[in-house]
Amino acid sequence: MSEKILVLNWKSNKTASEAEKFLGEVENISSACRVILCPDYVSIPMCSKIVKDRGLNIILGAQDISRFGVGSYTGEVNGKALSEFVEYVILGHVERRTLMGDTKEVIKEKMKRSKEFGLKTILCVENVSELEDMSPDVVAFEPRDAIGTGKIKTVEEIEKALELISRETNTPILYGGSVDLGHLQSLLEVSDLSGFLIGSASLRVETVNSFVKILF
């Protein structure tokens, strides 16, 4: 692996007090690596404060962004508000595509908003066509049948997908989908992989501490 990135996607799993406990227990990470923590909106400001106060080498990201700018959009969290706390935004996660109706057009608008407010994007894709007209900073290859199912893809399957994706983009490419400590060693054999996006495995601080030790 050349550049190493670990994205922790907490999804809608932790309360603010659980997030606080996690950040109180996570071991500090060497400055040579990029760990991007993506809590839900409610916990982001508090996580940002703890990261600063503890001097943790953790970058914050959001799990989504409003497709609209600042204004009368009840319930939305816009890029300007996010930019005070986070550096990255996850876009196009398969859960948003399938459960929340994020179409390609919506994702394109969200990408535009992210850039407008100076946020870097981590675009989750299942196939190369989802990269069309997109210009993300990081791509995560995320096959839907591997997400949250424990059914990890093989090294060969991931390498094949990565090869196709890397023909379309020069960005770092991550893999996501049921990555856990048990699979990590074999996944480290995947060539040209820049890191991982982890969901369930990101929830336990002991697991994250171990990930960081192995990866960095």
Return residues touching ligand PGA (CB under 6 A): 9, 142, 147-148, 176-179, 197-201
Q: With respect to ligand PGA, which residue has the nearer C-beta, 165 or 198?
A: 198
Ranked by CB distance to ligand PGA, the top (closest) residue is 199
Residue 105 and residue 91 in contact, taking contact as beta carbons nearer than 8 Å = no
CB of 187 to ligand PGA, least distance (A): 12
Strand pairing partners for 197?
7, 176
CB of 201 to ligand PGA, least distance (A): 6
116 is catalytic: no
Of the listed 95, 126, 130, 142, which one is catalytic?
A: 142
Give me the catalytic one of 93, 95, 126, 130: 93
Write out the two tokens for 24: 């109180």
- Counting DSSP H helices and E strands in the chain, the numbers are 8, 8
Nearest approach, Cβ of residue 71 and ligand PGA (Å):
30
Q: Tokens representing 134?
A: 């997109």
Residue 86 or 197 with smaller CB distance to ligand PGA: 197
Is residue 76 part of the annotated active site? The answer reads no
Rounded to whole angstroms, the Cα distance separating 160 from 38 reads: 28
Question: In this structure, are residues 140 and 173 in contact, taking their beta carbons and an 8 Å threshold?
Answer: yes
**Residues recorded for the chain:** 216
Active site amino acids:
93, 142
